[in-house]
Chain A
Amino acid sequence: MSLPLPLIFDYEEIAGKFYPVIPIELKVNEKRFLTRAYVDSGATFSIFNAEIADYLGLDYRKGDKIYPAGIGGHICAYIKDIFISIHNIEICCEVLFSDEFTVKFNLLGRAGIFDRFRVCFDDSEKKLYLYEKAYSDFR
């Protein structure tokens, strides 16, 4: 079985180090927000700053409240369903919004995204490969 052609993204240089940061577009109703996100295979959920939810007109505090934990402790966040586009491939995802998320990266976690793509991090080449899965594979 041959794999489909992947989407290939060069890692982004930030202060002399290279990170798998890719462009994404968030969509709520007809409002769109083009941004970039760090692809984090260790993150269960994608998480975004609450200011983005406000811009999108999303009342994120009506979402279910959860407490995602990292090595620095946990924060309060809310789950909402939104659409995320990666190179025009639109995915409905459960994501988190938090006004306690102070990291200056949007994080693109596994929920929704890693169901839709096979993800390959090539750190030596500083490239990220996303292979879109066939519809029957992720349903």
Chain B
Amino acid sequence: MNKISISWNKLKKYSGLWVAIAEEEILASGRSLEEVMKKVEASGKKAEVFQVPLGEEAYILVLAFAFDF
């Protein structure tokens, strides 16, 4: 499972969307994971699928606690 390398310059126009990348190219994109996976499965290719972060968001990620109310 090697990391598929793709530059932010190629990804940034997909900010907020789901994308599938295969062979270092965008294979599919969409607002829902379901629609993207339909395109991936139709292609027969193995793709890495994720949401493209919003460039302007500041990621200070803290998820330290879990409350069971």
Taking Cβ atoms with an 8 Å cutoff, the residues of A that contact B are 9-10, 13-17, 19, 22-25, 33-36, 38, 40, 42-45, 47, 49, 51-52, 54-55, 64-71, 74, 85-88, 96, 103-107, 109
Contacts of A67 in B (CB 8 A): 66-69
One digit per residue, 1 when the CB lies within 8 angstroms of any chain A CB and 0 when it does not, for chain B 28-40 equals: 0000111001000
B47 to chain A, nearest CB (A): 7
Q: How far is the CA of A69 from the CA of B4 in the complex (A)?
A: 32
Taking Cβ atoms with an 8 Å cutoff, the residues of B that contact A are 1-4, 7-8, 12, 15-16, 18, 32-34, 37, 46-57, 59-69
Contact B63 A23 (CB under 8 A): no
A130 to chain B, nearest CB (A): 13
Q: Chain B CB within 10 Å — which of A52, A55, A69, A104 has the most?
A: A104
